[in-house]
Homo-oligomer: A and B are copies of this chain.
Amino acid sequence: MGTVPVGVGGVRVTESSSASLVVDDGERVGKKGGVGRGAPEAKTAMALKNHSEAERRRRERINSHLATLRTMVPCSDKMDKAAILAQVINHVKELKSKAVEISKGYNIPSDTDEVRVEAEANAVNSGSFYIRATLCCEDRPELFAELRQTLDTLQLKLIRAEISTLSGRVKNILIMRCDDNANDIDRHIYTASVHQALKSVLDRVNSTVDFYPRAKRRRISMFESSCSSS
């Protein structure tokens, strides 16, 4: 047969506007019964078949992903599609909130880049003072060496470093001492240049990180659900 077995398929009319019911410009109606010029019919029939098969594959892709999600999310046996998706949404939210909760109190690298430099409040009032710097970015093996080198050229002595990594991200917290004779203004200038230096380190990381598989310049935070479209 031409097309599908078409159960009840026949003509369907949804009530509505008006007219148009009878239009049929004659040629399209051919179907298999008609003779007409044989070629085009077979073609459109094939096209239609391809179409429905493609659509079928598409549906299978979507449904297989849905099936996967069903297994990943709190046991949802016999839930309809919408319920599964709702459950997935809640699950993702819960995972995120757990992540942020765990991170409280620990210095866990976040998913957003961060450069922070601050002069320590309790700096001794002598020729030297302390700076606390934070750099959070994609992890790279040579990053810490590069960081030390950068700080060396700024004549900063690394006192203590707290480094944590998570899923390819790294967060460095660096306590450093500057031994220059420095008045208040110098300290601000110093702080600013340290900030700038770290920012350029970050930029270098972000310009080369594309060579690595997990390259995602802009990633969504575990904590935020912002989605900058544009």
Q: Taking beta carbons and an 8 Å cutoff, which residues of A are in contact with B?
A: 1-4, 6, 8-25, 28-29, 31-33, 45, 48-49, 52, 58, 61-62, 65-66, 68-75, 77, 81-82, 85-86, 88-89, 91-99, 101-103, 106, 108, 166-167, 216, 218-220, 222, 225, 227-229
Contact = CB atoms under 8 A, between A and B. Distances in A.
A9 B23 CA distance: 12
Contacts of A85: 62, 65-66, 68-69
Nearest first, the 8 closest Cβ-Cβ pairs linking A and B are: A10-B20, A65-B85, A95-B95, A3-B17, A61-B82, A1-B28, A74-B220, A10-B16
Contacts of A2: 17-18, 20-24
B6 A11 contact: no
A21 to B, nearest CB: 5
B225 A167 contact: no
Contacts of A13: 11-13, 21, 31
